[in-house]
Structure 1
Amino acid sequence: MRQVSTTVAAVRDAIRRHPWWSDSLLALFLTVIAVGSVVGSRTRYGYPFPVLAAIAALFTTIPIALRRYRPLPVLAITVTAETLLLIFSNDSPVPVGVIVALYTVAAYCERRVSIRAAAWVAPPVIVGEIVNNGPHAGRVIPELAVIAIAWVIGDNLRTRRAYLAELKERAARLEREREEKADRAVVEERARIARELHDVIAHNVSVMVVQAAAGEEVFDEDPERARESLSAVASTGRAALTELRRLLGVIRAEDDRGKAPAFAPQPGIEYVSELVRQVNDAGLPVELSVIGEPRALPEGVGLCAYRIVQEALTNTLKHAGASGAQVHVRYAADALELHVVDDGRGRSALNGEAGGQGLIGMRERVALFGGELTASPRAGRGYEVRARLPVEGRTP
């Protein structure tokens, strides 16, 4: 049984891949039947009408071999040949070729085209039957019924094929949309990772460079201060490694047990005081003020606030040449407000990272949470960064 089904499937696949061969075999089979029926029938007149009837019978079926490639011309030829056959012969065989050709037109052409074709086929069949068998020909209605059934079957096949094609196109479109969505997610994730890397590396490396430079200056005169600077470099380096491990833990896939690797938690607004301490240790005096009652914030908002303060202080430390800075954190009823200000070079600081990827990263972070950010030089001297991050209600 399995071998039979395999053979049937192979034959069906061969017919699908090579329709011309199957149509040629069908045309040959129908031609044998058509010519045989004409040879055994009576013709209306003597020679050469028997020969003409046989030729007409040939053209009612032979074009079927090309029915999938030229359905309308094939139908026109078969209808014309069938009409001539009705003229040359006293008998009127069933117009099998016309039926197959009309079925093909209904299956492969638009509905409006196939309806017109069916309307064009019916009159020759009716006239031929009446001419050969009189006005009360009993085969007119059955033949018209067969022609109508052939059209209905072909039209249903066309409708089903169009439906399946639409389903396939819809599935392909959904697959493309899924791939595009995945690509966008990858791009967004890469941008997020790039921002994280920039924030982690830029801040910590800046602090390390400043501390190392300070230690180098006092190495001979004040070994104790140099030792403190080197200790701060080591501490900042360890903090940077911790954050990098955390970031790599986010990038990595889950382990074999299906659990994500455990690394240090994401820094939030509560870590700003530690950030201020690091910058103070690096030699830049920073004052921190908190207005309002501190409360727990969504993790994403807390991380965003931390990164904004970190980026602003990093730019001040690297580019502003400031002698001091202030960080103001205000817990409003429906938002978290940040204000970082320094007394550095102001507008010239924009030539550094503050006017480049760092500022772009801050704007992207704030926009992600529907907030607002402004970064601009102050009147006279200094630079300030203001951010407002909406917080829906009070987060427990």
Structure 2
Amino acid sequence: MTEPASADPTGSIVDPGTLLTVSEHRMIVGLLSWLASLNRADQAHPRVRRWGLPALLVVFALPSLAKAAGGSGPGVPIVLALAIGFIVPLLWRERRPLPVFAVIAAVSVADIALGVMAGSNAARLVALYNVARLGTPAQLGFALAVGLPEAVATGLVVSADGPTSYLTQVPAMVTVMVVVTVAVTGLGLASRMARAYIAALEDRAVRLETERDQRARLAVAGERARIAREMHDILGHTLSVMVGLADGAAGLAETSPRRGADTLRIIAGSGRGALAELRRLLAVIRDDGEKPDDTPLAPQPGLADLDALLERVRGAGRTVTLHTEGDLGDLTPGVQLAVYRIVQEALTNTLKYAAPETAVTVALISDADVVHLTVEDTGPSAADPEHGGGRGLVGMRERAALYAGQITAGPNAQGGWTVRARLTPTAPAHSENRPA
């Protein structure tokens, strides 16, 4: 058995506009929009929704009351009782659509039999609309089974008092009443479909928002885990050096005390640097599910590796210029790694989104206790890097946050993209500096 044409194997909502012609699409979208606007207005003014329509039907009953007061018809008490019978139940038309329809239909029988016509037909159509909109299919079938005969009877009563020929008036009036009844039923069903479709779209929007937040959290967690592994390598290398120096200092303690003291000072400096890296490492969440491998500990890329990185980008056809200022040699391995990775990610975005003829400028300035980094390309950009998944920018922000820094990224006046980073190597890495 083949699936219907509108089935979607991915389980996502199928846009009904893809199955319709342009004119049909516009008509249905217009109807759904109109029904949605009515629903929003109803939700915004619940008291107007509940009391407004019964108040309007009171106006319809006034001519019949005036006629009864003039001595025509069954009398004012009966007309008033009939009007109350089909107006008051409408206050509960949304909570109990079928019982309200049944009461109004019963009152309509008496109204039609007496020939009063005090607005019961309009009340019956309103009740039928709510059954179609809120009731079950069985309830709607019962309402139509009662409503259509009453519509025919109403047409007969109205046409009997008409000024034209009975033979031409009766079919026309009965047809009008039946068509109006069917049209109101269809409108109620369309309102039900509109509500279901809008609810499905809202549910899908919530699910997409949740999935986007989950992807962002996973990206942050994954990037923190990668930073933690890299910091582990740096600390392992530093501690290995310290162990070797300590062994040498132990041997020099007796033969060359001065050289031993110098070696101990080097160990102390290395230890202080390692402690600073450990403080930042505490703010990074490690992926406990990943087993450590047996690869030897080695320093991660630093500023000395920038030239090789830029050469690879030049090999891809881009023109890259590096400009440095200040004393960069005293930067710790962790800061150098953060700078290297930010430059690497920014250049990766350039390779992904910028045109082949773009030119890139990398500026690295060490000013007192602050490191300024700028990576700027001339574009033109084929897409917005911020909407390409977001993982690269998340990683750059995480690395900058390790050193109390920040990242800004956006289009520039040349039609390209600019990434600016500001790092403070000497500032302690507090948890509040990390992005949420």
TM (norm. structure 2) is: 0.48
CA 1:90–1:22: 2 relative to 1, 3 Å: closer
CA distance in 2: counterparts of 1:119 and 1:247, whole angstroms:
78
Q: Percent identity?
A: 29
Judge conservation of contact 2:129–2:184 (CA < 8 Å) in 1: yes
CA distance in 1: counterparts of 2:261 and 2:94, whole angstroms:
90
Q: Does 1:123 align with 2:149?
A: yes
User: Post-superposition shift, 1:244?
Assistant: 0.9
CA 1:247–1:80: 2 relative to 1, 3 Å: farther
CA distance in 1: counterparts of 2:208 and 2:48, whole angstroms:
37
Deviations 1:217-276 (A, max 9, x none): 4223234763784587489678796321134445114357524579xxxxxxxxxxxxxx
CA distance in 1: counterparts of 2:149 and 2:255, whole angstroms:
117
Match of 1:203 in 2: 237
Deviations 1:339-390 (A, max 9, x none): xxxxxxxxxxxxxxxxxxxxxxxxxxxxxxxxxxxxxxxxxxxxxxxxxxxx
Match of 1:72 in 2: 98
Map residues 266-345 of structure 1 onto 2, 5 A cutoff: none
Partner AA of 2:78 in structure 1:
L
CA 1:115–1:247: 2 relative to 1, 3 Å: farther
Map residues 28-67 of structure 1 onto 2, 5 A cutoff: 28-37=55-64, 39-40=66-67, 51-67=77-93
Q: Gapped runs of 5+ residues in structure 1? A: 1-10, 263-396
Q: Secondary structure at the match of 1:220?
A: helix
CA distance in 2: counterparts of 1:30 and 1:143, whole angstroms:
18
Judge conservation of contact 1:200–1:244 (CA < 8 Å) in 2: yes
Judge conservation of contact 1:20–1:65 (CA < 8 Å) in 2: no
CA 1:20–1:76: 2 relative to 1, 3 Å: farther
CA 1:218–1:210: 2 relative to 1, 3 Å: same
Match of 2:335 in 1: 245
Q: Does 1:182 align with 2:216?
A: yes
Judge conservation of contact 1:39–1:54 (CA < 8 Å) in 2: no
Q: Does 1:191 align with 2:255?
A: no
Map residues 160-179 of structure 1 onto 2, 5 A cutoff: 160-179=194-213
Q: Gapped runs of 5+ residues in structure 2? A: 1-37, 161-165, 274-298, 301-330, 340-395, 401-405, 410-417, 424-436
CA distance in 1: counterparts of 2:138 and 2:228, whole angstroms:
58
Partner AA of 1:212 in structure 2:
A
Judge conservation of contact 1:254–1:261 (CA < 8 Å) in 2: yes
CA 1:46–1:154: 2 relative to 1, 3 Å: closer
CA distance in 1: counterparts of 2:126 and 2:231, whole angstroms:
70
Map residues 366-381 of structure 1 onto 2, 5 A cutoff: none
Partner AA of 1:178 in structure 2:
R
Judge conservation of contact 2:89–2:103 (CA < 8 Å) in 1: yes
Match of 2:7 in 1: none
Judge conservation of contact 2:234–2:333 (CA < 8 Å) in 1: yes
Calculate the aligned-residue CA RMSD, in Å. Answer: 4.0
User: Post-superposition shift, 1:143?
Assistant: 0.9
Partner AA of 2:336 in structure 1:
R
Partner AA of 1:34 in structure 2:
A
* Pairing partner for 2:177 from 118, 133, 143: 143
CA distance in 1: counterparts of 2:408 and 2:48, whole angstroms:
57
Q: Secondary structure at the match of 1:258?
A: strand
CA distance in 1: counterparts of 2:73 and 2:334, whole angstroms:
102
Match of 2:187 in 1: 153
Q: Does 1:258 align with 2:284?
A: no
Judge conservation of contact 2:151–2:181 (CA < 8 Å) in 1: no
Radius of gyration: which is bigger? Answer: 1
Map residues 7-46 of structure 1 onto 2, 5 A cutoff: 16-37=43-64, 39-40=66-67
User: Post-superposition shift, 1:176?
Assistant: 0.4
User: Post-superposition shift, 1:17?
Assistant: 2.6
User: Post-superposition shift, 1:52?
Assistant: 3.2
129-138 vs 19-28, greater mean Cα deviation: 129-138
Match of 1:86 in 2: 112
139-148 vs 17-26, greater mean Cα deviation: 17-26
Deviations 1:64-101 (A, max 9, x none): 23323332222222111111211233658660001112
CA 1:206–1:112: 2 relative to 1, 3 Å: farther
CA 1:221–1:116: 2 relative to 1, 3 Å: farther
Match of 2:432 in 1: none
Deviations 1:136-192 (A, max 9, x none): 734222111111111122222222222122111111110100001111111111222
User: Post-superposition shift, 1:210?
Assistant: 4.0
CA distance in 2: counterparts of 1:153 and 1:200, whole angstroms:
70
Judge conservation of contact 1:74–1:101 (CA < 8 Å) in 2: yes
Judge conservation of contact 2:97–2:127 (CA < 8 Å) in 1: yes
Judge conservation of contact 2:68–2:79 (CA < 8 Å) in 1: no
Judge conservation of contact 2:54–2:87 (CA < 8 Å) in 1: yes
